[in-house]
Structure 1
Amino acid sequence: KALIRHKKVRIKIFNHILAHRPKGRCQFILNRRGTDKANSSSNLNSYSEDQKWKFQTRVPENVRFPCATEPGSPGGRSATRPTSVHRLRPGDIDVVGAIGDSIIAGNGILSSNILEVHMETRGLSLATGGDSNWRNYLTLSNILKEFNPNIIGYAQGNAMSFMPDSKFNVAEPMAMNRDIVFQAKLLLLRMKADKNIDFEKDWKLITILMGHNDFCSDMCYRNWKALPNETRDNLKAALDYLHDNMPRTVVNLVPPLNVAIVRRITQPSAACQIYWRTVCSCFFGFKSKNHEQEFADIVEKCQQAVVVNNSRYNKKDDFAVVVQPFLVNATIPTRINDNRTDYSYLAADCFHLSQKGHAAAANSLWNNMMEPSNKKTYSLSSNVLTRFLCPTPEHPYIFTARNSQRDASRQKTI
């Protein structure tokens, strides 16, 4: 019943956005259903100039994918389906899914004004976006498609969480850490209901990124000192549930971004500043006065609480949780010529990420997966595809805490 009520509210919001959108603007986005599912990029011309400059640079057809992907190559699909999560190659992933908030939901990716930030373009989201391919839109799913073209679960086009095109992206824009168990249960139900999945045998990759709404719009209205422990406990409950109910699974556990970095943005527009005070009042509204450093410290403790949560889940052969910390020390990219904020990475609200920003995040997430646990990068790779790690003959597997103990010092990079 709660889910039905939630759907009705979301539909009302969606219809309100459609009814009040600026005339002549965003029509292509609103009608978009699985943008550019083929390999061509012909419909890129349909985007407005306000959108095009916030896209990654398209990779020409004559440029090969950075890694060898064919069966028998280091990252290619194994000859026989592996039984251990610690011997899992990228090509062995059969199903992708995601749990999270507005970042994972794809809010604002194609926005050219504040109103459009509420559109959820899941098909371009960093973890499970499946529109087109890596040449046009670098996402983790589009990377994995190169290793296994039959992978399923990725989202397409614009879709809210209850719509069919969202697939196994169950993120909710306003979700908080206390919602993570609900999303885990919803994801499990969707997977079990999908006849295209062999639930017991298929290998699954689930990405979790949650916490920004706790920082922005909740912790200053309550006992914020309790938030790190609550974050740890909620994550533990969700991971325990997945551990007990979802076999053959790797969980990418991504600590949230420190939202305080938004303060470093240079020359934000008045619209952006008003938006920040509205959606992130704990950091940019009156509640933040006299508590800025204290709130920043709480965010860091919450990030640490996420990191602590993975060690207990590396004892099984068919389940692993791997912390991918590329957002922990992330900063907003700046322009080379004047060191000012590069707005091409940001949505219209100067808060969420544009398509280019999601591509950079997907690149960084992939690199984390290719790095051993003790050598992971804690920052965002701002230049898409400049540093792109590949599986090697010495270590062809997705890194887990257990297999990271092997020699993985050499890593092929472009």
Structure 2
Amino acid sequence: MYRHIYCGLISICVSILFSPSLSFFFQEFPENTRPVNFTHSPFQCPDMSRSPTVPSSVELVKAADIKVIAALGDSLTTAIGANATNVLGIPIEFRHVSWSIGGHGSYQDVITLANIVRLFNPNVLGAAPAKTVHGTSAPLSETGFNLAVTGHNTFNLPGQTRHLIDTLRNYEGLNFDEDWKLLTILIGMNDICDYCKDKVLFSVDNYIHYMTNSLEMLMNEVPRMIVNVVQILPMETLRQVQRPTPGCLLQRSFCSCLIKPGAGSPELKELVEINLEFQKRLEQLLHSDSFFREDFAVVLQPFMKQADPPRLPNDKIDMTFFTHDCFHFTIKGHEELAKGLWNNMFQPEGGKFMVSSFSDPIELICPPMNSANWL
């Protein structure tokens, strides 16, 4: 969720980061909030097999049947700053640890949706293998099918969608017509951040218009696809994510419509209402059969709808979940998002888990036996 206003800062950071004498800024892993030798316990399910034959119906697809994984969105999906060791690392996009598509190591190294799916199908295509730098072009060999773009608003989503469709259609080694594809979309929080700057461009109606346009493109052109559309966060409580550092001052620029208004001000109250309306209208759009056919489905995953920022026992914000800009998530936060998304995927509509606070670690569930239950 970055703003173009940062081009100057980003250019300076990029030149510093690419200096051979300062390559330590690219040092990675272990993630800086946990011990060097940390690994996750293995995750095993009673049935991790694929279907005997490739399913023709979206309702019969098992986790092991997924052959392609992809993601669209903004800086929460590019994982900006997620493993940065200081403020100069904020422009780095740690795509390979992104919650919905990161492909670093294995599940025991980093929990991402892609690494969970790999436990069921080790050969899944598309997991992001590397990091990139905001504002610089990057090949698919670095991004994988993580085609999210830092700073993008919902009006950019149709362009991302076209890029993805063309990429999938032309990618060597991918059977566009036969392979089952899993796409995750999370976008819209930049619209909230920018709302006060242009209330028409970033209106709820435009949010739904561009989301609808993108989903219709996918449905009309891509066979055998399941699309997770993840509900946006309630953003007001992010105002509490503060510490007295230069990095935290960045909040006021890239999400000024949220951060600058005074507590209880009419401007803040309006923004909170708009945030809720975004959530409500997205539910109305997707709680229908508009985006469903035998080999295609769009599913709203609401696990973040009511989420409060993680807190310590003294009720202060747990800053280990947040990057040096006090806004985006560290790997620790990305892992909780990955687990929440995975669980939602195998819970029925009306029974999908919603996180009340990321303070409580999410326990992964196994897909139900003898049933895909994606829908």
The alignment's TM-score, normalised by the length of structure 2, stands at: 0.89
Question: 1:367 offset after TM fit, Å?
Answer: 0.7
2:112 counterpart of 1:136: no
State the partner residue of 2:310: 333
State the partner residue of 1:67: 45
State the partner residue of 1:40: none
Question: 1:115 offset after TM fit, Å?
Answer: 2.7
Any idea what SS the aligned residue of 2:96 has? helix
Q: 1:223 to 1:361 in 2, by over 3 A?
A: same
Equivalent of residue 59 in structure 2, options 86, 91, 104: 86
Equivalent of residue 246 in structure 1, options 222, 225, 245: 222
Q: 1:15 to 1:293 in 2, by over 3 A?
A: closer
Equivalent of residue 366 in structure 1, options 323, 339, 342: 342
Cα separation, 2, equivalents of 1:277 and 1:171: 23
State the partner residue of 2:70: 97
**Per-residue deviation, residues 288-325 of structure 1 (Å, max 9, x unmatched):** 95311110110111112222222234541100000001
Cα separation, 2, equivalents of 1:140 and 1:27: 29
Report matched runs for 1:104-183 at 5 Å: 104-159=77-132, 162-164=138-140, 165-183=142-160
Cα separation, 2, equivalents of 1:11 and 1:145: 36
Quick check: 2:227–2:299 contact (8 Å CA) kept in 1?
A: yes
State the partner residue of 1:201: 178
**Per-residue deviation, residues 106-161 of structure 1 (Å, max 9, x unmatched):** 10101232231211010000011000011110000000000001100111121256
State the partner residue of 2:23: 27
Question: 1:196 offset after TM fit, Å?
Answer: 1.0
Cα separation, 1, equivalents of 2:170 and 2:20: 40
State the partner residue of 1:268: 243
RMSD over aligned CA atoms reads 2.9
Deviates more, 1:218-227 or 1:172-181: 218-227
Any idea what SS the aligned residue of 1:331 has? coil
Q: 1:380 to 1:131 in 2, by over 3 A?
A: farther
Q: 1:12 to 1:88 in 2, by over 3 A?
A: farther
Any idea what SS the aligned residue of 1:250 has? strand
Cα separation, 1, equivalents of 2:344 and 2:150: 25
2:289 counterpart of 1:312: yes
Question: 1:339 offset after TM fit, Å?
Answer: 2.1
Quick check: 2:261–2:267 contact (8 Å CA) kept in 1?
A: no
State the partner residue of 2:259: 284
Report matched runs for 1:37-48 at 5 Å: 44=30
Q: 1:146 to 1:389 in 2, by over 3 A?
A: same
Deviates more, 1:349-358 or 1:162-171: 162-171
Cα separation, 2, equivalents of 1:385 and 1:77: 29
Question: 1:195 offset after TM fit, Å?
Answer: 1.0
Deviates more, 1:178-187 or 1:371-380: 371-380
State the partner residue of 1:379: 355
Structure 2: give runs of 5+ residues left out of the alignment.
1-5
Question: 1:176 offset after TM fit, Å?
Answer: 0.3
Quick check: 2:312–2:359 contact (8 Å CA) kept in 1?
A: no
**Per-residue deviation, residues 2-26 of structure 1 (Å, max 9, x unmatched):** xxxxxxxx99986642323599997
Question: 1:224 offset after TM fit, Å?
Answer: 5.5
Deviates more, 1:157-166 or 1:344-353: 157-166
State the partner residue of 1:38: none
Q: 1:56 to 1:127 in 2, by over 3 A?
A: farther
Amino acid corresponding to residue 44 of structure 2 in structure 1: P
Q: Percent identity?
A: 28
Question: 1:381 offset after TM fit, Å?
Answer: 6.6
Cα separation, 1, equivalents of 2:118 and 2:110: 12
Cα separation, 2, equivalents of 1:94 and 1:188: 16
Any idea what SS the aligned residue of 2:203 has? helix
Amino acid corresponding to residue 64 of structure 1 in structure 2: P
Amino acid corresponding to residue 79 of structure 2 in structure 1: G
Q: 1:269 to 1:58 in 2, by over 3 A?
A: farther
Q: 1:381 to 1:56 in 2, by over 3 A?
A: farther
Deviates more, 1:350-359 or 1:153-162: 153-162
Cα separation, 2, equivalents of 1:269 and 1:22: 28
Q: 1:80 to 1:26 in 2, by over 3 A?
A: farther
